[in-house]
């Protein structure tokens, strides 16, 4: 399998509450387990940022499906590259709601999402790469 990693940013439609985020998370986890996809989903202030890992073909159709979901819009593909290994091995889909400020990498993640929103680089690299490196360390 040719492993790929894909990162995108999108804007949520409305302000999803805890229950809506939990439902989305459960749905993603169940589906991703079936198609051997791992990754992480971050939510903050009306913005989603998601990492998806799996075969290139699987990610292409999953990204297409996710892009049609009315719960968000304005998807911006930030990264879609081959990878030597998975960064989120343990997670069919980890979910971090930064509005609850529970993440140990809280400030770092907020900065990455802010940079992605404005198309700014962080120390010369794409915020998507910084995001992946934050967890690869």
Indicate the residue among 53 and 130 with the shorter CB distance to ligand FMN. 53
Q: Which of the 8 DSSP states describes residue 8? A: E
Indicate the residue among 24 and 131 with the shorter CB distance to ligand FMN. 24
Indicate the residue among 20 and 121 with the shorter CB distance to ligand FMN. 20
Shortest reach from residue 27's CB to ligand FMN, in Å: 5
CA triple 30-46-109, angle to 5 deg: 80
CB 114 within 8 A of CB 9: no
Nearest to 86 by CA among 53, 130, 63: 53
Q: Which residue is nearest to ligand FMN (CB)?
A: 31
**Residue ranges in contact with ligand FMN by CB under 6 A:** 24, 27-28, 31-32, 41, 48, 50, 62, 65-66, 69, 71-72, 93
Nearest to 35 by CA among 7, 12, 63: 63
């Amino acid at each position: 399998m040719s492993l790929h990693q894909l990162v995108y940013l999108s804007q949520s439609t409305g302000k999803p509450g805890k229950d809506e985020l939990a439902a989305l998370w459960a749905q993603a986890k169940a589906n991703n387990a079936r198609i051997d996809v791992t990754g992480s989903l971050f939510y903050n202030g009306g913005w989603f940022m998601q990492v998806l890992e799996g075969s290139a073909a699987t990610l292409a159709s999953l990204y297409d499906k996710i892009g049609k979901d009315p719960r968000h819009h304005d998807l911006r593909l930030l990264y879609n590259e081959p990878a030597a290994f998975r960064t989120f091995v343990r997670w069919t889909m980890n979910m971090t709601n930064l509005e609850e400020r529970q993440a140990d990498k809280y400030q770092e993640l907020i900065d990455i999402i802010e940079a992605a929103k404005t198309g700014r680089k962080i120390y010369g690299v794409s915020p998507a790469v910084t995001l992946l490196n934050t967890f690869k360390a």
